[in-house]
Amino acid sequence: MSEPKLNYVLCPDASGGHRMAYWEWGNPQGKHVVLCVHGLSRQGRDFDVLARTLCEKAGNDLRVVCPDVAGRGQSDWLKDPMAYQIPSYAADMLVLLAQLKPVTLDWVGTSMGGLIGMIVCGQADLPLPTPVRRLVLNDVGPSIQWQALQRIGEYLGKAGQFASLQQAADVMWALSTSFGPHTPAQWLELSRHMVKPVGDAAGSVILHYDPAIAVPFRSVTQESAAQGEAMLWHLYDNIKATTLLTRGAQSDLLSRDTAQAMTRRGPKARLVEFEGVGHAPTFIADDQVQTVASFLLD
């Protein structure tokens, strides 16, 4: 399958509900589901290369499902900006999983998607159709470097308008060089799903996410982040899934000390670091894709 199918699930909220989009690869009746959840300002098509590879390697029983978290991609924007928070996203994922009904469930979470995964995997009493079997945390952990949050806050929510896809890709690359080496073609393909056309302006595009996702993000203080860290360590220590932690060796968000601590606590994650990469690996380079595929399909 060269392209995924776009589906939707209706998720409740205090403002009457919203639709969350998700991209589905592989066998739509497959009982083994790999749920891939993207980073803060990204969207589900980030996982195209990984999803294709997993489906090619796994055969007919696999479904790879890549949601656009609320406010991103093809999903609805929320009426209340303060609802753009990790617990709300986790609740949406539970609704999605109830619709998917997996028998075997694995989770791949990049950055924010990993935090959502920790909430889902770290609470034994959640109404999951089946426990998460294998968990991939991509460049994220319970402790997040405050300087990285400040860096992200400098650009988050500044949607802008661009004369072309290429111009948008160039601007995004200037903010995202920490993703590591990509060919121009790879980066253009990653950027294609990050934008949408602007009205009747020929060729003009804007970023495909609600700028209001920045509102709750900017309300985080260093003190509140520290309080959240204690809760996240508690969740991490409760995880029962076999866990792989992938880290950009030059990451400014997940410190090496935190990564090492994660190999000793809770699920005692297996740590793999990728040289020449910061925050966060994109799972496009062959070594990154093979690392995750081998872990999930072994």
Query: What are the CA-CA distances from residue 122 to residues 45, 118, 181 (Å)?
Result: 26, 5, 33
Q: Is residue 163 part of a domain?
A: no
Residue 184 maps to a domain: no
Write the pLDDT tens digit of every residue in 6-57. Answer: 999 999 999 999 999 999 999 999 999 999 999 999 999 999 999 999 999 9
**Residues 273-294 pLDDT 10s:** 999 999 999 999 999 999 999 9
Q: Is residue 191 part of a domain?
A: no
Answer whether residue 200 shows pLDDT above 70.
no
Whether 170 is covered by a domain: the verdict is: no
**Cα torsion through 131, 134, 138, 142, rounded to 10:** 50
- Provide the number of structural domains found in the chain: 1
- Torsion angle of the four alpha carbons 207, 278, 140, 103, in this order, in degrees rounded to the nearest 10: 70
In a domain, 236, yes or no: yes
Write out the residue range of the structural domain in which residue 61 sits. Answer: 5-145+229-297
Residue type, 196: K
In a domain, 172, yes or no: no
Q: Is residue 180 part of a domain?
A: no
Q: Quick check: is 159 in a domain? A: no
Q: CA-CA distance, 51 to 170, in Å (whole number)?
A: 25
Q: What pLDDT does residue 75 have?
A: 98
Q: Report the pLDDT averaged over residues 191-207.
A: 86
CATH classification at residue 58: 3.40.50.1820
pLDDT of residue 245: 98
CA angle (234 as vertex; 232, 238 as ends), nearest 5: 110
Q: Are the CB atoms for 39 and 46 separated by under 8 Å?
A: yes
DSSP string, the chain: --SPEEEEEEE--TTS-EEEEEEEEE-TT-SEEEEEE--TT--GGGGHHHHHHHHHHH-TTEEEEEE--TTBTTSPPPSSGGG-SHHHHHHHHHHHHHHH--SEEEEEEETHHHHHHHHHHT-TTS--SS-EEEEEEES--SS--HHHHHHHHHHTT---EESSHHHHHHHHHHH-GGG----HHHHHHHHHTTEEE-TT-TT-EEESB-GGGHHHHHT--HHHHHHHHHHHHHHHHT--SEEEEEEETT-SSS-HHHHHHHHHSTT-PEEEEETT--S---S-SHHHHHHHHHHHH-
Give the global pTM.
0.96
